[in-house]
A and B are shown apart, each in its own frame.
Chain A
Amino acid sequence: MNTVPMESGLVLAGILFILGFIGVLVRRNIVFILLSLEVMLNAAGLAFIFAGSRWVQADGQVMFIFILAMAAAEVSVGLALILQIFRDFKTLDADAANNMRG
């Protein structure tokens, strides 16, 4: 069985993570921020999968399923919040919701 080397997998996960992170930082639309967050989560999940296959352990896959479950819960709460924010601010711009400014 031809296995992908661990290093390239981790690099892929890193690139995905950074892409997601840049997305979080630069996008102002909350929906896209949420999307980018999903990418970051999946990057982390990918890293787990690679690590699991490297050490031939089931833990990696367990963690990925855990992340999937968490992401699902997070998206449902996040989307509800987004709806609420849209109702209050009439916009999806994250920077507009800065009422907690010190």
Chain B
Amino acid sequence: MLELLWIVPALPFLGFLILALIGSRMPGKTAAAIGVASIGLSALLTVFIGINFISSPPAGRVYIQTLWEWFNVAGLNPGIALRLDAVSLTFIFVITFVGFLIHLYSVEYMEGEEGYSRFFAYMNLFVGSMLMLVLGDNLVLLYLGWEGVGLCSYLLIGFWYKDPANGYAARKAFIVTRVGDTAMAIGLFILFTELGSLNIGRLLEVAPLNWPVGSSMPVLAAALLLGGAVGKSAQLPLQTWLPDAMAGPTPVSALIHAATMVTAGVYLIARMHVIFTLAPVVLTIVGVIGALTLLLAGFSALTQHDIKRVLAYSTISQIGYMFLALGVGAWSAAVFHFMIHAFFKALLFLGAGVVILALHHEQNMFKMGGVRKMIPVTFWTFLIGSASLAALPLVTGGFYSKDLILFYAFDGERANRWLYAAGLLGALITALYTTRMVLLTFFGEAKTHLHHKPTWIMEMPLVVLAVLSTFGGFVELPHTLGHLTLFSDFMQTILPGNQVAEGGISTELILQLTAAVTAILGIFIAYMLYYKNPERVTALRRSAFGSRLHAFWKKGWGFDWLYDTLFVNPIVWIAEVNKSDFIDLIYTFIAWVNRMFNRAFSFTQSGRLRWYAMGIALGAIITLTIAVFL
């Protein structure tokens, strides 16, 4: 069964090939069927493989399938080889399953759009690349998937290519992440130069033997890998591309910019955890980046008008939680939060997509309102997803995953009270903006009328994801509530565990109560501010300081402006000024000097006989003078 693993990524690639070559000539239904079926079969196969893997685990809990050797030069011999273990299994399950639901949803969402088959081709290519990213058994293959998903992200953000703004957003996404990728590439060079291999298993084995903890090489390598992770996962300081990436169709935002691709950074760090443990400084930086990002993005999410931008900032913020978890060494908690987040954030995006389509491509929340009666299924599922995002205690998956992170941040091996505080504050803000979003979108009076009513094709994925984002959390329950550790046990076949330092059940209970109270408090404040008496918020926003802060947060803390002034504009300016290449001036000057000489000499060739005679005479006189006097 496990040897069928190669088919999992092969199916989406096959779908892509078919759609890319002849997709434009087939009817839309066929194209959609191929696009959905390839991912569906892939998901089905993943489930079988997963059952097989868990019921009869291979030796060492890792299964490696080598397809062929990619290239082999002077000891650098990455293979096209797949590596299946607990971490990659979790990821491919989420990718194929959520991917399938989103593909299905797109069948209706994208109906009638120009380039329908192109859309499915890109989406299939994305799923294939993402699977290569998480399955690759060496960092070169991982890099292939890494760049591949970046490409698909670019193509899909710019899917509606006729609007230059979409093209700009797409380029921005690709280039900003490419900055991180370049850092990561240099990290790979260091790893290969120092350790002589880029095979993941080999690196994890060899690194602790060659490098003492905290020595300069692992710090450098880990910092550079972190650069790649930060770019892909839209963390500080490379987070600016994600809000703009919402220019793409909503299913794209759900799949790429919420559920899967943006968590690739989390995957990378979890995958290379040995290198990061050898560099505790970098690991601390990971946590700090996570904490800062989750706060910054949370405040920005509070001020957005566009529902998709709220969700985008919320994604940045939630990935910040995952980074925080990685930073405190809670590896499995990070992966757990990734999984739950993939469910509820995909759900939220898809729900938002239904609303947007229902209101004829209206994305401004202030022009929505009161749609809960019109699209009840969407409303209830969206509410479930929001509850999970806001970490409503006990009944949502989001509560359990976020609680686990906060618990380790407070009480784990690398506990840090500051990070914990940031996480708690972040939870409050999360509850605030989530409630605000739900209230603005679904409650209040209806401002527009319904344009498109979703059918089962769009509602089925919502329901499934709602179930998953609620019950998905129950695979890992804290000590106080039944103590189930299915997920972390599974993860810890690959990732190191995290010893809890002190306390016990009582500390844990207090922490949980705090988290629960925070979430409920956030929901309550938002209810008071945005529903009961919205005048107070309006007044606050009107005040001089308030309006400035509001604008500042809404623009994402001015990072775009900063990068434009620091990097983009100077480079564009230099390029513009140097368009005709100043070095060419040197050669033009040489040519000019020659031409000047030419003109000077040709002036003497006047064609006048008497001038020549004069020249002869002068020459003779000068020669004679020299001969006589010297």
A and B touch in the complex (CB under 8 A): yes
Q: Report A's interface with B, CB cutoff 8 A.
A: 21, 24-26, 28, 33, 94-95, 97-102
Q: Is the CB of A25 within 8 A of B605?
A: no
Which residues on the B side are within 8 Å of A26 (C-beta)? Answer: 610
Q: Is B579 an interface residue (CB 8 A)?
A: no
A98 to chain B, nearest CB (A): 3
Given the complex, which residues of B lie within 8 Å of A99, measured CB to CB?
607
Interface string of B593-630 (1 = CB under 8 A from A): 00000000111111111100110010000000000000
Least Cβ–Cβ distance between A95 and chain B, in angstroms: 5
B617/A97 in contact, CB under 8 A: no
Contact B609 A33 (CB under 8 A): yes
- What's the interface size class on B, roughly? 10 to 19
A98→B607 contact, CB < 8 A: yes
Expressed in whole angstroms, the Cα–Cα distance for A39 and B604 within the complex equals 27
Which residues of chain B have a CB within 8 Å of any CB of chain A? 601-610, 613-614, 617
* Chain A to chain B: the 7 pairs with minimum beta-carbon distance, closest first: A98-B607, A102-B605, A102-B602, A101-B607, A100-B607, A94-B609, A95-B608
Please give the distance in Å from B319's CB to the nearest CB on chain A: 75
| Distance A25 CA – B611 CA, assembled complex (angstroms) | 8
A78 to chain B, nearest CB (A): 12
- Cα(A101)–Cα(B601), bound, Å: 11
Contact at B603–A102, with CB atoms within 8 Å?
yes
A101 B609 Cβ-Cβ under 8 A: no
A–B complex contacts, Cβ < 8 Å, 18 sampled: A21-B617, A25-B610, A25-B613, A25-B617, A33-B609, A33-B610, A94-B609, A95-B608, A97-B607, A97-B609, A98-B606, A99-B607, A100-B605, A100-B607, A101-B605, A102-B601, A102-B603, A102-B605
Shortest beta-carbon distance, B619 to chain A, in Å?
A: 13
Find chain A residues with CB under 8 A from B614 CB.
25
Q: Which B residues lie within 8 Å of A100 (CB)?
A: 605, 607
Q: Residues of B contacting A97 with CB < 8 Å?
A: 607, 609
Residue pair A94, B610 in contact (C-beta under 8 Å): yes
B608 touches A98 (CB 8 A): yes
Closest to A26 in B: B610
| Nearest-neighbor residue (CB-CB) of A25 within chain B | B610
Give A99 to B608 CA distance when docked, in angstroms. Answer: 9
For residue A91, give the distance in angstroms from its CB to the closest CB of chain B. Answer: 14
A100 to B605 Cα, complex, angstroms: 8
CA distance A24 to B614 in the complex (A): 9
Q: How far is the CA of A26 from the CA of B608 in the complex (A)?
A: 12
The residues of A that contact B608 with a CB separation of less than 8 Å are: 94-95, 98
In the assembled complex, which residues on chain B have CB atoms less than 8 Å from the CB atom of A101?
605-607
Q: How far apart are B618's CB and chain A's nearest CB, in angstroms?
A: 11
Question: Which residues on the A side are within 8 Å of B602 (C-beta)?
Answer: 102
> Are A95 and B610 in contact (CB-based, < 8 A)?
yes
A99 to B617, CA, bound (A): 23
A25 to B602, CA, bound (A): 21
In the assembled complex, the CB of B474 is this many whole angstroms from the nearest CB of chain A, namely 97
Asked if A24 and B610 sit within 8 Å, CB to CB, the answer is yes
**Chain A residues positioned under 8 Å from B606 (CB to CB):** 98, 101-102
Query: Is B604 a contact of A102 with CB atoms below 8 Å?
Result: yes
The residues of B that contact A33 with a CB separation of less than 8 Å are: 609-610
Report the bound CA distance from A26 to B609 in whole Å.
11
What is the bound-complex CA distance between A50 and B608, given in angstroms? 34
Question: Chain B contacts of A94 at CB under 8 A?
Answer: 608-610
B600 shortest CB reach to chain A, Å: 10
Q: How far is the CB of B86 from chain A (nearest CB, A)?
A: 86
Q: How far is the CA of A37 from the CA of B65 in the complex (A)?
A: 103
Closest to B603 in A: A102
Q: A35 to B596: give the CA distance in the assembly, Å.
A: 39
Residue of A whose beta carbon sits closest to that of B609: A94
Q: How far is the CA of A5 from the CA of B388 in the complex (A)?
A: 131
- A88 shortest CB reach to chain B, Å: 14
Beta-carbon contact of A24 and B607 below 8 Å? no
B605 to chain A, nearest CB (A): 3
Closest Cβ of chain A to B361, distance in Å, is 74
**Assembly CA distance A28 to B610 (angstroms):** 8
Closest approach, in angstroms, between the C-beta of B422 and any C-beta of chain A?
A: 82
Alpha-carbon distance between A25 and B605 when the two chains are bound, in angstroms: 16
CB atoms of A24 and B613 under 8 A apart: yes
Give, as a whole number of angstroms, the nearest-CB distance from B321 to chain A. Answer: 82
Which residues from chain A contact B601 at a C-beta distance below 8 Å?
102
A25 and B613 CA atoms in complex are apart in Å by: 7
Q: How far is the CB of B594 from chain A (nearest CB, A)?
A: 15
Most buried by B among A24, A25, A28, A102: A102
A76 to chain B, nearest CB (A): 19
* B606 nearest in chain A by CB position: A101
Nearest CB in chain B: distance from A99 CB, A: 6
**Given A25-B613, A95-B609, A100-B605, 8 other A-B contacts at CB below 8 A?**
A21-B613, A21-B617, A25-B610, A33-B609, A94-B609, A99-B607, A101-B605, A102-B601
